[in-house]
Amino acid sequence: MPSLKKIGDGKYELDLKGFVCPYPQMYTAQALKSIKKGEVLVVYTDNPPSCDNIKSVAERNGSKVVAMDMPEKGVWRIVIER
């Protein structure tokens, strides 16, 4: 199971590379429940279908995807504000 890593004041990282559906969505939902409103979660995934699924999970939990990009080939970074 991946661990939530604090990377700054009110900012956390969740590295989900290597995980396939439904695990990225499940771990993202758990991580969002463990951070406070206004804090930021940065999720990394290398599973393309997880990009849309993570966005859906975030929105269902009242959070907002503020950025999504590909910092390296085959890896997506999804920035979510709780």
Q: Does residue 11 have a pLDDT over 90?
A: yes
pLDDT the model gives residue 59:
95
Superfamily (CATH) of domain 4-81: TusA-like domain (3.30.110.40)
51 is catalytic: no
Report pLDDT digits (tens) over 55-67.
999 999 899 999 9
Strand arrangement, sheet containing 5-8 = 5-8, 11-15, 40-45, 75-81, 64-72
pLDDT the model gives residue 61:
87
The whole-model pTM stands at 0.95
Report pLDDT digits (tens) over 15-56.
999 999 999 999 999 999 999 999 999 999 999 999 999 999
Q: Angle at Cα 67 formed by Cα 34 and Cα 56, nearest 5°? A: 60
Say which of 7, 20, 21, 67 is annotated catalytic. Answer: 21
Domain boundaries, the chain: 4-81
